[in-house]
Amino acid sequence: MTVKLARSNVAEGASQPARLMFAYSRVSTEEQAERRNRLEAQRAVIDAEAGRRGWDVEHFADEGASGKYINEKLREVLQLLASGQGDGLVVSKMDRLARSIINAADIMERANGQGWSLVVLDLGVDLTTASGRLIAQVMSSFAEYERAQIGERTKAALAAKKRRGERLGRPRVAQAGVVRRIVMDRTAGQTYERIARALTAEGILSPLGKTTWQPSTVRRIYQSATAA
Give catalytic residue positions. 28
- Composition of the chain by helix, strand, coil, percent to 5: 55, 10, 35
Cα–Cα distance list, 16 to 19, 46, 47, 75 (Å)? 9, 22, 20, 28
With beta carbons less than 8 A apart as the criterion, state whether 146 and 101 touch: yes
Distance CA 223, CA 4 (A): 45
Three-class DSSP category at 4:
strand
Rounded Cα distance, 119 and 89, in Å: 6
Of 22, 100, 7, residue with least CA distance to 62: 22
Residue whose C-alpha is closest to residue 137's, from 123, 151, 121:
123
Report DSSP state, residue 11: P
* Closest C-alpha to 116, from 52, 20, 2, 46: 20
